[in-house]
Structure 1
Amino acid sequence: MAVEFSFVSLPFIFMIIGTIETALMFTSQSLLSASTATAARLIRTGQIQQGAGDPEETFRNAVCDFAAILIPCDDIQFQVLDLEDFGAADDLPDATFDENGNLQNQGFSPGGVNDVVLIRVAYNYNIVTPLMQPVLTNTGGSTRTMLSTIVLQTEPYQFEN
């Protein structure tokens, strides 16, 4: 019985570790999407644009506060671009990344009242399990780039008294 267990134990342990790795990866992606939606709400309602302080830092803090459970804040990258209209989102190129897998920064422009805004938030998830790297990576290395994108129109948040 010990011989049979030795044949089964190593693959079983790798399967368990791979399952945990995959679950953490998908949880991180879900967390990134939810944190993007939470921070995007601040742009949609004008709280970023009309708030005191640096709008970019406020947005970063909103993303990080929600995602900090699994995602280190220093590893989160984002773009916030003001667009002409929703059709302009189709004309934009896909998100571009540098040789290190970091999102190319195209600025932070949260727009104004009734503007269309594109929000991209990226995170490079480090895959720890070597046997899972060939299956889970999309960068050719040991990371998987996760990207959450939202296109929204800001609300008419400037009201007359």
Structure 2
Amino acid sequence: MFNRFRSIVVDRCGAGKCGGVGRRFIKQQDGAAAVEFALIATPFLALTFAIIESAMVFFAGQSLEAATASAARLILTGQAQTGGYSASDFKTQVCNRVASLFDCNGGVYVDVKTYTNFSSVSTTSPVTNGKLDTSNMTYTPGGPGCIVKVAVYYQWPIYVSLLGNNLATLDGNKRLLVATSVFRTEPYGGTGGC
């Protein structure tokens, strides 16, 4: 772009319409790279940070999925039921698997429910008016042979919004990360109903 402008001006100056000062000014290119970088730097950096943040959200979601699957195995095999785990004990098991990535002090929410059949498992989002609604979250792991849904929620903070396209799904620039595992518990010989 700059070179085309320069060639137009040089053509005019070559025809004698510019003075000697004009020719020297046109031939100088000392600040051209700085000006071009200033025009490109802001969108480039915004796009770079948006890519990095998207990757972090994806990585956090996958980590939460892995931690949920691993912790849900404690309920699947009956270890949580026979061990007398409370909701906070189970949440601790989830947090032990993702402690370095998530803030578990109030940031991780666990919802464990039992169902009579797989078709009755609720898929309703716990978001109400842009906020995570924790009022219906319970911890009922059931007994042997029960159908159990383990859902873990985390509100991940979003820092970069690119031209209004934001990853946030909750108020306060947060994205709700959800990891779910649905299964029938093994017949581990314990007691308890569905």
- TM-score using structure 1 length: 0.86
Distance 2:154 2:163 in 1: 18
Say whether residues 1:94 and 2:124 are aligned partners. Answer: yes
Q: Which runs of 5+ in 2 are unaligned?
A: 1-32
Deviations along 1:76-110, whole A, 9 cap, x unmatched? Answer: 11110011122221xx3503234532444331100
1:21 to 41, 44, 53: 53
Bigger shift: 1-10 or 38-47?
Answer: 1-10
Match of 1:147 in 2: 178
Matched ranges for 1:97-108 at <5 A: 97-99=127-129, 100-108=131-139
Q: Are the structure 2 counterparts of residues 25 and 19 from structure 1 closer, same or farther at C-alpha, using a change threshold of 3 Å?
A: same
Q: State the 1:33 CA deviation.
A: 0.8
8 Å CA contact retained: 2:132, 2:170: yes
Following superposition, the deviation at residue 126 of structure 1 comes to 0.8
Does residue 49 in structure 1 map to residue 81 in structure 2? Answer: yes
Q: C-alpha separation between the residues in 1 aligned to 2:86 and 2:163? A: 39
Q: Distance in 1 between matches of 2:55 and 2:154?
A: 16
- The percentage of counterpart residues that share the same residue type is 32
AA of the residue aligned to 1:11: P
C-alpha spacing 1:118/1:49, structure 2 compared with 1 (3 Å)? same
Q: Which of 94, 108, 111 is the aligned partner of 1:76?
A: 108
- What does residue 60 of structure 1 align with? 91
The total of aligned residue pairs comes to 156
Greater gyration radius: 2
Q: TM-score, normalised by structure 2?
A: 0.73
**Structure 1 unaligned residues grouped into runs of 5+:** none
Root mean square deviation of aligned Cα: 2.0
Q: What amino acid does structure 2 have at the position aligned with 1:116?
A: I
* 8 A Cα contact 1:77 1:102, kept in partner: no
